[in-house]
Structure formats: structure tokens, C-alpha cells
Amino acid sequence: MANERATLEARVAALEADNAKLEARAARLAEQRDHYRWLTEHTTDLISRHARDGTFLYASPAARELIGYAPESLIGVSAYDLFHPDDLADLLAKSPRVYHRDGFYRLCYRFRARDGHYMWIETTSRTRRDPVSGELLDILCVSRDVTLRRRAEAQAHRHQEQIAHANRLAATGELASTIAHELNQPLATIANYASGALMRLETSPDAPARSLTLPLTRIHEQVGDLAERLRLIRTFVRRGETRCAPLAFATAVDGAVRLCDWQFRQAGVRLTLDLPDDLPKVHGDPLALEQVLVNLLRNALDASRECPRAERVTISARGQGPRELIFQVHDQGAGVSEAAQERLFTPFHTTRDDGLGMGLAIARSLMEAMGGGLVLAGTGDDGTLFQGTLRLAAPD
């Protein structure tokens, strides 16, 4: 009997010890729960949980301060109903503006606050799925107001466009000899044909009108060519924001070459192209890409002028994988010094007495605005190589 009692007491003691451990663990869990609840309820970011259709299942108290809604009033409401229609279309189409990886999403979008105005919200989301079926259970979101940041970004973008426009105007001034030549050539041809037509009328005033068909046709062709050249120059100096669309890279190269060709011929430097016929289209802005190429060509020409052995500048391009196109501008100048390399893309840094020091800085910023990049890929006694990357356009 005594043994049974001792055994029973030992079991009770063990149960009491286990119970104490469970109570201590429960207390720790309650403490952690209260801590996380405090964090959730006092953070300035809105923490929310949603069903797969976007319906609010939970909203933290920050909803009042952030978007003007009481948290309980959001329960059962679909967040998608408060999205700006354009941004909702992006989300549902999983556009490139929606970043996704392993159930992790980040999206910046406009959201309608309680007072009716739209504000910019950045939301980071994590999906939770059933470990067996893979079915989506719910979505945890952390959202913050980025309206001021978006305004600052928009203002910086406007300033970038203004600087880029000023750079194009400066480039047009430096390309004045090219522009004069581009206009003078067709005007001289028009003058020659008009003079010939007048001489024919003077010598044969009774000749039929069809005898002037050839000179008048040639004049018409030259007027069309002149109009195209003026359009090219006018387009290059126009002010406008960067708007990306599918673009044939060779088209931008052709525009840049036509603007710079006369200067290259004056300097006795050959401008050669190595562009495959089957280059895929890129995602870019025609004017911005043309400006990048003009800036790189002008830099290459300056380097070539300073090096007697420099004979040519080459523009080449190739596809790299399924998503990118790489292009290169290679000159045969003396290269860039190690000290200059560190500040090569720094605004207002220049090695020319008459330079603004903005060409490469603007070129890089324009490339980044198009989702690409620009780097110094190599420099030395055999010249300098700049390399740009562009995203390929989405398939039609």
C-alpha cells in the first residue's frame, strides 16, 4: 500500500511539474502574443489579412490614420474595390510593376481613402498556402503611405527630363555644322534642278509642260528629303517625357548616325555598324535612346580626334538571352585614365574645356529610366568601350 501511495505521489508530482512547465510555456506564449499584438496595433504601417478575392479578414488600427477607415468597417470589403482601376488592371495582369517571388509580392498603387481621394500605397504581401493541396489560404499584407515619395520621384523625373532636353539643345548647337550640311545638300540640289528648268523654259518657251517632269520630280523628292531631315532635327530637340514602347534598335542607331555623320566625315573618322538583321525589338523610348547614342558617339569622336591613329568608331549589338539586348560603342582613342574612370558618370565632370560634363550622366540616367543600364566596359591603349543593356520588348 505504501508503495502504491509513493507511486501515486510521484505521478502527481510529475504531473504538477509538467503542468508548471505548460503554464510557464503558456505564459511565455501569451507574453509573445501580447507583444506581437502591441506591435501590430501600434505600428504606423497598416497590417492586414485578406482572402484570395482581396476581402479584408483583419485590419490593424493603423487603417484609421493611413486611409481613414475604422478597422472593423473594412472587414468583408474587397481591397480591390478601392484600387485605382488602372492599377488594379496591372495587379490582375501581373504586370512587370508587380514584383513576385516565392509567394512574396510588392506593389505600388493608388488606393482610395475614405474621403474619396487617391493616395499612393506600397504593399508587401506574403501568401499562405495549404502545405498539402497548395491551395491559397490567405494573404498577409503590410502597407504604407508613399505619396510624398512618389511626388518627389515625379519631380526628380521632371528635372531629369528638363536636363536631358537642355543636353539635346546643347548637342544641337555643337552639331550646327552637321545641321547646316544636312539642309544645304538638298537645297543645293533643288537650286540646280530649278535653275535647269528655268534655262529650259528660256531656250524653249513653247516646249510642252511634260518636258519639265524630270526636274520637277527631282525637286519634289528633295523637298521630301529636306522635310524628313528637318523632322529628325526637330524631333531630337523637342521636349517630352520618356515613354517606352517596342522599338527597333537599328531605327535609333540610324537617327543618331544621321545627326553625327557629317562631323565624323569632317574629322576623317569612319563610323561603322555591326548590327545583325534579326535583332529583336527592345523596350525603349526612341528619342531617349537616340540621345544616348548621340552622346556616346560625340564622346567617341572627341577621343578619336585626340589620337592620330584612331580611324573608326564602331556601334555593335547582339541579343543576350531571352530578356536583354547588349549594344557597344567602341572607339580607338587613347582610353580613359584611372582617375577619370571614377568620376566618368558624375554630373559636370568633363575633360574638355568647352564641355558641360553632362553627356554620360544623362545617358546613364536615360538608360536606367528605360529599365536598362550603361557602363564603361573597357578602356586602354586600344580605345574605350561603352556597353549598354536594354530590356527586350514583350512578344506581340
Question: Residue ranges of the domains in the chain?
Answer: 1-42, 44-145, 161-241, 242-396
Residue 175 pLDDT > 70: no
Is there a contact between 264 and 273 (Cβ–Cβ < 8 Å)? no
C-beta separation of 304 from 313 below 8 A: yes
The pLDDT of residue 17: 80
What is the rounded average pLDDT of the residues 64-89?
Answer: 91
Q: What was the pLDDT predicted at 330?
A: 95
| Region 117-138 average pLDDT | 86
Band of residue 96 on the pLDDT scale cut at 50, 70, 90: very low
pLDDT at 41 over 60: yes
Distance, C-alpha 304 to centroid of its chain = 31
* Per-residue pLDDT reduced to its tens digit, 270-324: 999 999 999 999 999 887 888 889 889 988 998 898 888 889 999 999 998 888 9
- Is 107 a residue whose pLDDT tops 50? yes
Question: Three-state secondary structure along the chain?
Answer: CHHHHHHHHHHHHHHHHHHHHHHHHHHHHHHHHHHHHHHHHHCCCEEEEECCCCEEEEECCHHHHHHCCCHHHHECCEHHHHECHHHHHHHHCCCCCCEEECCEEEEEEEEECCCCCEEEEEEEEEEEECCCCCCEEEEEEEEEECHHHHHHHHHHHHHHHHHHHHHHHHHHHHCHHHHHHHHHHHHHHHHHHHHHHHHHHHHCCCCCHHHHHHHHHHHHHHHHHHHHHHHHHHHHHCCCCCCCEEECHHHHHHHHHHHHHHHHHHHCCEEEEECCCCCCCEEECHHHHHHHHHHHHHHHHHHHHCCCCCCEEEEEEEEECCCEEEEEEECCCCCCCHHHHCCCCCCCCCCCCCCCCCHHHHHHHHHHHCCCEEEEEEEECCEEEEEEEEEECCCC
Whether 249 has a pLDDT exceeding 70, the answer reads yes
Confidence of residue 228 (pLDDT cuts 50, 70, 90): low
- Picking from 71-75, 113-117, 236-240, 385-389, which range would have the lowest pLDDT averaged per residue? 236-240
Q: Inter-axis angle of helices 286-305 and 213-237, to 10 degrees?
A: 90
Residue 23 pLDDT class (50, 70, 90 cuts): confident
pLDDT classification of 160: cutoffs 50, 70, 90: low
pLDDT of residue 42: 65
Q: For residue 24, what pLDDT is reported? A: 79
Length of the chain measured in residues: 396
C-alpha cell at position 247: 522599338
Q: What percent of the chain has pLDDT over 90?
A: 26
Lowest mean pLDDT among 95-99, 112-116, 386-390, 391-395: 95-99
Cβ atoms 243, 285 nearer than 8 A: yes
Tell me the per-residue pLDDT of 42-58, one tens digit each, with 9 for 90 and over.
678 999 999 988 899 99
Mean pLDDT of 320-333: 92
Average pLDDT in the chain: 80
**pLDDT at residue 206 in the model:** 78
Q: List all residues 6 or more positions away from 151 whose beta carbon is below 8 Å from its beta carbon.
A: none
Collect all residues with Cβ–Cβ distance below 8 Å to 238 and sequence separation of at least 6. 287
Q: What is the mean pLDDT of residues 212-218?
A: 80
Amino acid sitting at position 179 = I
User: Homologous superfamily of 242-396 in CATH?
Assistant: Histidine kinase-like ATPase, C-terminal domain (3.30.565.10)
Arch. (CATH architecture) of 44-145? 2-Layer Sandwich (3.30)
CA distance linking residue 1 with residue 101, whole number of Å:
67
Overall average pLDDT of the 107-132 stretch: 89
Q: CA-to-CA distance for 16 and 189, rounded, in angstroms?
A: 108
Mean pLDDT value of segment 18-27: 80
Q: Predicted confidence band at 394 (pLDDT cuts at 50, 70, 90)?
A: confident
Whether residue 102 is predicted with pLDDT greater than 70 in this model: the reply is no
137-146, 182-191, 200-209, 321-330: segment of lowest average pLDDT: 182-191
